[in-house]
Amino acid sequence: MRRVTMKPLALIPFVALLSIASCEEKTPTAMQESTAELPGPERAAAAATHVLPRIKSDLATRGLHVGDPVFIRAFKEEKLLELFVRDRATGRFELFLSYPIVAASGRLGPKLAEGDYQVPEGFYYVPPSAMKPDSRYHLAFNIGFPNTLDRALGRTGSAIMVHGSDVSIGCLAMTDAKIEEIYTLCDAALHGGQAYFRVHLFPFRMTADRMAQISNTDANFAFWQNLQQGYDAFEKSKIPPDVSVLDKRYIFQDGK
């Protein structure tokens, strides 16, 4: 038995994956039309200029700061993405904003194969090389599917993004206005020294009550029990756990 540490995927050539082939073509929105001709870095800078004054003010009221480490988790059933920022005083990650997911295809359960239209479930890392300011979906970042466990289980797919717009196949669409906020905070954290930020994707809030509703005959039951361990680890400490893989299961240790 060999434990495989899920290191951030910074060494994987994300540029080759960023075509967003899993997301359908669409007509640009008015916001995109106003920035579509800008090179990626300038587009991201324009978005930051637009949203930062308000974000800085909102963070300040919570004792939080732009550029500090961030953490993202999302729930498919609730169609919700949560963005956390680390508190300098406590080291705990505090919920800053919750965003509705306006489009995400598929059903509950992990992504298994390229073209199945499923949104993944599991634990992912986003390094600077996965940020995509030149996305045709305004702004985006690649979550890094397939991760170590996905590959061990033979799951296939690529270019799974959190992006703007209101349409998506296999990705999480957040609207252009909301992705500007999300992207800006994540980009600022990476530029502030965070080597990568974590993205945890769950089928639903993995509370004891919700898990009790799942039949142990469900094909995903054991996998979801494993995901719940990571969910509970964060709920207990408010610090994302370190994740590794052993015998085709996630293993969790206290994060830093």
Which are the catalytic amino acids?
Answer: 163, 171
Q: Which residue(s) pair with 80 in the sheet?
A: 75, 100
Whole-angstrom distance, CA of residue 226 vs CA of residue 224: 5
* CB-based contacts of 183, cutoff 8 Å, min separation 6: 44, 47, 131, 133, 139, 140, 141
Tokens at residue 39, please? 């090179």
Whole-angstrom distance, CA of residue 228 vs CA of residue 208: 9
Given a contact cutoff of 8 angstroms between Cβ atoms, the answer to whether 82 and 95 are in contact is yes
- ∠ at Cα 208 (202, 213), nearest 5°? 80
Whole-angstrom distance, CA of residue 122 vs CA of residue 250: 9
